[in-house]
Amino acid sequence: MTMHQICVRHNFESAHRLPHLNDKCKNLHGHSWWVEVTVSAPALGDDGTVVEFGIFKKALRAFVDEYLDHGAMLGDQDPLASVLADHGCKVYRFGASPPRPDRHDGERSRWQAERHATDLAYPTVEAVAVMLGRVARQALQGMLPCAAGAGLGHVKVTETHTNSAHFVPATSGLPPAREPAAAGTPAAGTLAAGTPAVAGTPAGTPATAGTPAAAGIPAAAGIPAQARQDIDPAAPLTRERSRM
Ligand SMILES: Nc1nc2c(c(=O)[nH]1)N=C([C@H](O)[C@H](O)COP(=O)(O)OP(=O)(O)OP(=O)(O)O)CN2
């Protein structure tokens, strides 16, 4: 079987520390991280793509820029996590538990992003790759104009020139192929033949205005509402997703 693959990259500046590893890693230190995500599909969509670069990057970047860039990634048990958060610093916690229902909106909103890493105790490079794989996969599911059967290929996260981690999902990463569209009715997430892709308005999916502030997804300009919903960490993780 042939396979098409595309790759997008994004970078972010973030501190982390790994107090359970060696002496060097227990210091709060920063890296210029790179994340690279590939998306695979057995056949190209009607628009000749696996997934349109711009829309996919916007969805991925929205999460990274909002929750990780110029912040700190820490284990939930790390005492620095609450100290930094109490001082207004951006903190993304690995291994965090859901807040009690009576907690304030800010805490609930933070959790919506942190639930991608709830089963990952520490922000190792490997764990960051898993977490960003979940974000990327949710961005892909749903309406993005992508080829039938398109799914997450792999995620590479680089923290230094010498250190990186690859995450490859246990499954192929391909969600079930979408049903072929009835004539004249483009399937969700696919482009109708001959339908030009209008930026931010994928064919077959009405872009509902104004959405997911509640989902913790930044309402970045140009990201289709549905795409933002798709990276909504509040969406329940399926068994398959949680294996990623
Ligand atoms: N498997 C992993 N090992 C280590 C991780 C990790 O995330 N996964 N992280 C660290 C530290 O965070 C540290 O940033 C990197 O440590 P190290 O490579 O030892 O340090 P340098 O980048 O300074 O290495 P040099 O090549 O000597 O410059 C450690 N291990």
Separation of CA 163 and ligand 1 centre (Å): 7
Separation of CA 113 and ligand 1 centre (Å): 26
Number of residues assigned to the chain: 244
Separation of CA 25 and ligand 1 centre (Å): 7
What is the pTM for the complete model shown? 0.75
Burial (CB count within 10 angstroms: exposed 0-12, middle 13-18, buried 19+), residue 145: buried
What are the residues whose beta carbons fall under 8 Å from the beta carbon of 76, sequence distance 6 or more?
93, 94, 95, 96, 97, 121
**Is residue 213 one of the residues assigned to a domain?**
no
Q: Which atom of ligand 1 is nearest to the CA of 163?
A: 18
Please tell me if the CB atom of residue 18 comes closer than 6 angstroms to any atom of ligand 1.
Answer: yes
Report the pLDDT value the prediction gives residue 201, as an integer from 0 to 100.
30
Q: Which residue has the higher pLDDT, 237 or 19?
A: 19
**Is residue 202 one of the residues assigned to a domain?**
no
**Is residue 217 one of the residues assigned to a domain?**
no
- The enclosing H or E element of 125 equals helix 125-140
User: What's the domain count of the chain?
Assistant: 1
Ligand 1 pocket test, candidate residues 14, 16, 20, 25, most atoms within 8 A of CB? 25
Ligand 1 pocket test, candidate residues 24, 27, 163, 166, most atoms within 8 A of CB? 163
**Is residue 9 one of the residues assigned to a domain?**
yes
Domain with 136, as residue range(s), is 4-177+235-240
pLDDT digits (tens, 9 = 90+) for 227-236: 333 333 333 3
The answer, yes or no, to whether residue 167 has pLDDT greater than 60, is yes
**Is residue 189 one of the residues assigned to a domain?**
no
- The enclosing H or E element of 83 equals helix 79-86
Whichever domain contains 107, its CATH number is: 3.30.479.10
**Is residue 20 one of the residues assigned to a domain?**
yes
Report the pLDDT value the prediction gives residue 240, as an integer from 0 to 100.
34
